[in-house]
């Protein structure tokens, strides 16, 4: 039961789009797209599934 509660709480956490992008190193063009899509705030789940990150370089 605790596991399900933790999942629900994490999925419904609301972030400032700018703060989320800053924390997870998302570029400004992608941040602008997310703000246009969701406005200034969105859930962690919405942001996670809608961001396109550049592949890591080794």
Which tens digits make up the pLDDT trace of 2-50? 666 666 666 578 999 999 999 999 999 999 999 999 999 999 999 999 9
Is the whole model's pTM more than 0.85, yes or no?
no
The pLDDT score that the predictor gives to residue 6 is 64
Whether the predicted pLDDT of 52 surpasses 90: no
What local confidence, expressed as pLDDT, does residue 7 receive?
60
Q: Quick one: 51 exposed, middle or buried, by C-beta within 10 A (0-12, 13-18, 19+)?
A: middle
Q: Give ∠ CA 32-29-43 in degrees, rounded to 5.
A: 45
Distance, in Å, from the CA atom of 42 to the CA atom of 35, rounded to the nearest integer, reads 9
Token pair for 47: 């942001």
Residue 57 clears pLDDT 70, i.e. is over it: yes
Question: Where do the domains of the chain lie?
Answer: 2-50
pLDDT of residue 15: 95
């Amino acid at each position: 039961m605790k596991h399900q509660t933790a999942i629900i709480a994490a999925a419904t956490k609301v972030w400032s789009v700018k703060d989320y992008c800053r924390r997870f190193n998302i570029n400004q063009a992608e941040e602008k797209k997310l703000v246009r899509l969701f406005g200034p705030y969105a859930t962690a789940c919405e942001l996670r599934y809608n961001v396109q990150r550049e592949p890591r370089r080794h």
